[in-house]
A = this chain, B = another copy of it.
Amino acid sequence: MGVVLSFEEYPTERASISPLVEITASGMQRVNRLVVERTRSDVTLIPEVARYLIDSGGKRMRPMVTIASAQACGYHGDAEVKLAAAVEFMHTATLFHDDVVDESNTRRGKRAARLVWGNQESVLVGDFLLGQAFKMMVEVESLEALAVLSAAAAAIAEGEVMQLTTAKNTETTEDEYLDVIRAKTAVLFSAAAEVGAVVAGSDRSVRAAFRSYGANLGIAFQLIDDALDYGGETPTLGKDVGDDFREGKVTLPVVLAYRRGSDDDRAFWRRTLVEGTIGEDDLAHAVSLLERTRALKDTVERARHYAAMAHDALAPLPDERAKAALLQALAFCIARAH
């Protein structure tokens, strides 16, 4: 007789985004309609630029989390759709501004909008999306949801400025780096998860559960992204590898490899990331250093730690179907790095 795992046990092997996509499908359809509607403008440049990035196939994890969280709390209305779209607009606005600030050339495998239209257009269309996000949130008429999202907006902007000062510093500690990604990524995931519970009128403890799930999912998500940018746990050099390296970003894999490496290694990281002198074989050498110091494996290990915290945060949730979907999405997020 085989072991039968009941649905409630969420084995960590069950890593899949599909249940989350499924349970949020009808809500996300309405989010997507709203996104199209709210990027309309007589100023034709706006829908053109905004849709370039919005249609470019982001995972839409954040709005899905909002929809799922509202649903898990038993809410069925319109508010969560507007809040989810607002969250996605806030996220997209920061991508536009980030690309300008980082002087990035690609975004999601496409040419960055700032190269197609220009930096000016990217700054202003980002501002437009922020304005529209703000307007949608206000339409929901929930002061609690507004408080959560406005605090997030302020924290995100503060985190972006903080990142300017740490970006080129190879001496950054793991704690300092975590502060940056808490502000840059975790805060919006956390707000996205919490506002779903807020519009559902859930009590303090449920709100806190979602806030914590979102924050830890956000950190795990970012750390896995950092590892993936060097090819993941067992790297293979492909076309999606090396963007962070070429832009001189000091991410957790580098923080670990720098501390664990030799003086020669440290000189290598300073030359490539800080001075920006990068030769043809340097990316391959960077990856070999990251493997030798176990930096990629341990970045994924760290991500697992935050995923475990996110997992435990959701424990008290009564809606088993939504909970399972959110936990499997969490596992999926980690599994990307294999």
Contact = CB atoms under 8 A, between A and B. Distances in A.
Interface of A: 41, 43, 45-46, 94, 97, 100-101, 119-121, 123-125, 127-128, 130-132, 134-135, 137-139, 141, 143, 146-147, 150-151, 153-158, 160-162, 164-165
B164 A124 contact: yes
B124 A161 contact: yes
B161 A132 contact: no
Contacts of A162: 43
Nearest to A127: B157
A98 to B, nearest CB: 9
A131 B146 contact: no
A135 B161 contact: no
Given A127-B160, A131-B157, 4 more contacts: A43-B165, A124-B160, A138-B146, A146-B146
Number of this chain's copies in the complex = 2
Contacts of A134: 134, 150, 153-154
A328 to B, nearest CB: 33
A3 to B, nearest CB: 50
B125 A161 contact: yes
B41 A158 contact: yes
24 contacts: A41-B158, A43-B158, A43-B161, A43-B162, A45-B165, A94-B127, A97-B123, A97-B127, A100-B120, A101-B123, A120-B164, A121-B164, A123-B123, A124-B164, A128-B154, A131-B150, A131-B154, A134-B150, A135-B151, A135-B154, A138-B143, A138-B147, A141-B143, A146-B146
A100 B121 contact: no
A112 to B, nearest CB: 14
A20 to B, nearest CB: 29
B46 A161 contact: yes
A131 B183 CA distance: 13
A6 B265 CA distance: 82
B130 A153 contact: yes
Given A119-B100, A134-B150, A157 B143 contact: no
A101 B119 CA distance: 8
